[in-house]
Amino acid sequence: MRKSLAVFVLVLGLFLVFGSHSAMTQAPLSGEALVNERCSQCHDLTRVNRAKATKDRAGWERTVDNKISKRDVLLNEVERTAVLEYLIKN
């Protein structure tokens, strides 16, 4: 009986440690990394960097949504937001 309680506590402890660990590694989604990875699939990033000087939020939303309409697996909703934040700020 005691032994099974110890095993239970151990399993619970491991679950908490690894559970919170994976939640932490998932948390911050890097807009920069997403742009580097996804937006370089059809053209290089010179185009993207050049456009940063001219596009505002609405402009980027139009561009990014246009890309998603060409390739619907390109970015999910959360990734789209992270990419937009990055493109607007930098």
Name the minimum Å distance from CB 25 to ligand HEC.
Answer: 24
| Distance of alpha carbon 83 from the chain centroid | 8
**CA 19, CA 37: separation in Å to the nearest integer?**
27
Rounded to whole angstroms, how far apart are CA atoms 72 and 64?
A: 11
Smallest separation, CB 30 to ligand HEC (Å): 14
**CA 43 to centroid of chain Cα atoms:** 20
Ranges within 27-66 binding ligand HEC (CB under 6 A): 38-39, 41-43, 47-48, 51, 63-64
Q: Name the site residues for ligand HEC (rule: CB under 6 A).
A: 38-39, 41-43, 47-48, 51, 63-64, 67, 70-71, 74, 83
